[in-house]
Amino acid sequence: MNTKVNAIEETVEDGKSIKVIECFSPSTGEKLGDVVARTPAEVQQAVDKAREAQKDWAKSSFNQRRAVLKHIMNHILEHADELCDLIVKDSGKTYENAMMGEVLPICTKIKWTIKNGEKHLKPEKVGAGMFPHKKAHIEYVPLGVVACIIPWNYPLQNIISSLVTPLMAGNAVVLKPSEAVAWSSERFQMITDEALRREGFSTDIVQIVNGFGDTGAALVRSGVDKILFIGSVENGRRIIEGSAEHLTPVIMELGGKDPMIVCDDADLDKAVHSALGGCFINLGQNCIASERILVLEGVYDQFVAKVSDYAKQLRQGVPTNPGAVDVGAITTPMQIKVIDDLVQDAIAKGATVITGGEIKTIGSSNTTFYPPTVLVNVTPEMKITYTEVFGPVMLIMKMASEEEAIQVANSTDFGLHSSVITKDKEKGKRIADQLHAGAACVNDFGLCYLNQDLPFGGVKYSGFGRMNGRDGLRSYTNHKAVLQDRFGFEIPPKLYPVGKHDYESAKLGIRLMFQDGFANKLKTLASLIWVNLKAKFSK
């Protein structure tokens, strides 16, 4: 195993002790630098500063918000090579994965938000219901300070994509990146600082606070107005516990065990490449990785042969430059152990390894890698069948029927993404409709995430709340209901003191509004007039 890990170091500076995150490159073992871990008191200071700065930001126009987002995108485009270098060093991923998996989704999200943000956030007129003399609208009011606590799999994308939406909605953001990629995240603060400064706003509106779990826990309890948590189910539960203190609302984006159903009429090339992409992009460190490939028996043998052929040929090693390797390194040594434990449990219980299946050492520095792995003969007794791997392991399972595939697809605790591969459009839709997940994609893996018009999020243990699209934007606002006068008079003109005929009058009024039939309504109206006349003249 890699011996060089991100670790805590106690250092004394000016007589005080500070916690430091030691950062190493997972693919070479090279030390990258040290990053100071923020204390709970420093986290609280950051939140307080953000709250102050947000007052100004909440009053900003949509044009100003768009300008800030545009500067963020332009910075990323102009410095794409430098940023990808940092990401590759810090995470172990390839340059291609950095460009396609980080820069592309960020730009897609920012462009969509610039184009659509105002449309979804401006006040929205709605009907006034039973009050024809009033008018009503919904205002999407910024919440205040949003906390984002995020994982390590996409060091830049997790940061920028998490902050773009709450920022557009008028909030300040305090963001806690994963300790495993703290080194690069220090550089990313410059992106928002520069963008905010250029439009004359305080850089306190977006702050990155690095640290371990205790820094995240302090942020949860700091009195922020909403929390976005992206991470494991285990820590998701801790966040919910912590958020109970101030009843802080949370969005939970947790793990997955996504199924990909390959039907026996599938275009085999399409199926093979979707499975390879779904399992091995970012070396499987992807919440929407297609970890379970459920193949109908008619094409099972051909599929296994073809996909294995490709998997065996993937070149793995240190991503020294673009094109150097097909797959790189796992970001944390701890994750290598998680992956290997699950694979060894499966092998011990009878799974067959087609390729990969054990930790390997590459290069002179003795750093360890986990290779692209294909397992068949996987059964429900194996932990890997229902536990998230978050690594490059493709499980292929033979299915006797469409019904069995749907049942197996829905059989885990997770429900994030799902895919169906078939040439038959109707069948694709029919199967997709029966998959219990936050998203279903026909003839592709994970692409729903890239379509910003779609909401992104899960069901079951994959979480709740939505990150993208209209619902994502509005989830960082108070949906404030406003009812105003339309004409300047009141109905009813008075409620107190209660009159002798008020009850009868209310009963007839309600009946008039809701009963069926014109003749019935006429009769009720006559009674209502009669009751009101009685009321008037009995005073």
216 lies in the site for ligand NAD, by CB under 6 A = yes
Q: Which stretch in 13-21, 40-48, 214-222, 344-352 sits in contact with ligand NAD by CB under 6 A? A: 214-222
Annotated catalytic residue, options 179, 253, 388, 402: 253
CB of 229 to ligand NAD, least distance (A): 7
The single residue among 46, 76, 205, 239 that binds ligand NAD, judged by CB under 6 A, is: 239
Respond yes or no: is residue 253 known to be catalytic: yes
Which residues are within 8 A (CB) of 11 and not within 5 positions of it... i.e. 6 or more apart? 17, 18, 20
Pairing of strands 250-253, 477-485: unpaired
**Beta-bridge partners for 135:** 484
From the centroid of its chain, how far is CA 98? Answer: 18
Q: Nearest residue to ligand NAD, using CB?
A: 216
Contact assessment for residue 262 and residue 296, using Cβ atoms and an 8 Å cutoff: yes
CA distance 61 to 82: 32
User: Contacts with ligand NAD: how many residues (CB under 6 A)?
Assistant: 28
213 is an interface residue for ligand NAD by CB under 6 A: yes
- Of 406-445, binders to ligand NAD (CB under 6 A) are 416
3-state secondary structure of 508: helix
According to CB under 6 A, which one of 27, 60, 178, 412 is a site residue for ligand NAD? 178
Query: x-or-dash pattern for ligand NAD, window 453-472, by CB under 6 A?
Result: ----------x---------
- CA 440 to CA 444: how far, in whole Å? 9
Stretch that binds ligand NAD, among 112-120, 248-256, 425-433, 478-486 (CB under 6 A): 248-256
Tokens 């499980």 sit on residue:
395
Residue 150 binds to ligand NAD (criterion: CB under 6 A): yes
CA distance 385 to 393: 11
- 155 makes contact with ligand NAD (CB under 6 A): no
**Choice between 435 and 528, CB closer to ligand NAD:** 435
43 dihedral zone (left: phi>0; alpha: psi -120 to 50; beta): alpha
Please state, in angstroms and rounded to a whole number, the distance separating the CA atoms of residues 287 and 176. Answer: 19
Q: Output the smallest distance, CB 364 to ligand NAD, in A.
A: 29
Distance CA 195, CA 218 (A): 27
Binding of ligand NAD at residue 333 (CB under 6 A)?
no
Find the shortest distance in angstroms from Cβ 90 to ligand NAD.
13
Cα–Cα nearest to 408, from 260, 205, 201: 260
Could you give the angle at the alpha carbon of 279 between the alpha carbons of 322 and 400, nearest 5°? 150
Q: How far is 247 from 240, CA to CA, in rounded Å?
A: 9
Question: Per CB under 6 A, does 238 bind ligand NAD?
Answer: yes
Is 212 or 370 the residue whose CB approaches ligand NAD more closely? 212
Of the candidate spans 82-90, 95-103, 226-234, 529-537, the one that interacts with ligand NAD by CB under 6 A turns out to be 226-234
Strands 477-485 vs 226-230: parallel, antiparallel or unpaired: unpaired
Query: Closer CB to ligand NAD, residue 146 or residue 217?
Result: 217
Q: What is the DSSP letter of 221?
A: T
Closest CA to 196 of 298, 65, 334, 26: 65
Q: Is 153 a residue that touches ligand NAD (CB under 6 A)?
A: yes
Residue among 151 and 372 whose Cβ is closer to ligand NAD: 151
Q: Of residues 231, 259, 356, 446, which one binds ligand NAD by CB under 6 A? A: 231
Q: Closest CB to ligand NAD among 142 and 236?
A: 236
Q: From the candidates 148, 279, 287, 448, give the one annotated as an active-site residue.
A: 287
Nearer to ligand NAD, 150 or 307 (CB): 150
Q: Which of residues 280-309 bind ligand NAD (CB under 6 A)?
A: 287
DSSP for residue 327:
B
Smallest distance from the beta carbon of 33 to ligand NAD, in angstroms?
18
Among 388, 405, 406, 468, binds ligand NAD (CB under 6 A): 388
Q: Is the peptide bond before 371 cis (omega within 30 degrees of 0)?
A: no
Quote the least distance from Cβ 335 to ligand NAD, whole Å. 7
- Residue identified by tokens 């299946």 is 357
Q: Is 148 a catalytic residue?
A: no
Least CB distance to ligand NAD at residue 232 (A)? 3
Task: Give the phi and the psi of residue 336 in degrees, each rounded to 5.
Answer: -60, -40
Let me know how many helices (H) and strands (E) the chain has, helices first: 17, 23
**Coil vs helix vs strand at 146:** strand
**Residue 501 binds ligand NAD (CB under 6 A):** no
Question: Of the two residues 60 and 157, which places its CB atom closer to ligand NAD in the complex?
Answer: 157
Choosing from 390, 445, 461, 476, the residue that interacts with ligand NAD (CB under 6 A) is: 390
Q: Is 339 in the site for ligand NAD (CB under 6 A)?
A: no
Contact with ligand NAD (CB under 6 A) among 86, 220, 382, 448 = 220
- Which of 196, 217, 329, 406: binder of ligand NAD (CB under 6 A)? 217
Name the residue with tokens 């490709």: 310
Q: Strands 477-485, 145-149: parallel, antiparallel or unpaired by DSSP? A: unpaired
In sequence order, what DSSP letters do the residues of 354-410 get, joined into one string?
EE--S-EEETTTTEEE---EEEES--TTSGGGTS---SSEEEEEEESSHHHHHHHHT
The piece of 12-20, 130-138, 167-175, 231-239 that touches ligand NAD (CB under 6 A) is 231-239
Map the footprint of ligand NAD across residues 65-94, applying CB under 6 A. none
Alpha-carbon distance of 187 to 204, in angstroms, equals 16
Instruction: Please select the residue that binds ligand NAD; options are 45, 116, 235, 320, rule is CB under 6 A.
Output: 235
Among the residue ranges 166-174, 210-218, 349-357, 507-515, the one whose residues contact ligand NAD (CB under 6 A): 210-218
DSSP H helices in 150-296? 155-168, 182-198, 213-220, 233-243, 268-280
Q: What is the length of the chain? A: 539
Positions marked active-site = 253, 287
Interface positions with ligand NAD (CB under 6 A): 149-153, 176, 178-179, 212-213, 216-217, 220, 230-232, 235, 238-239, 253-256, 287, 388, 390, 416, 463
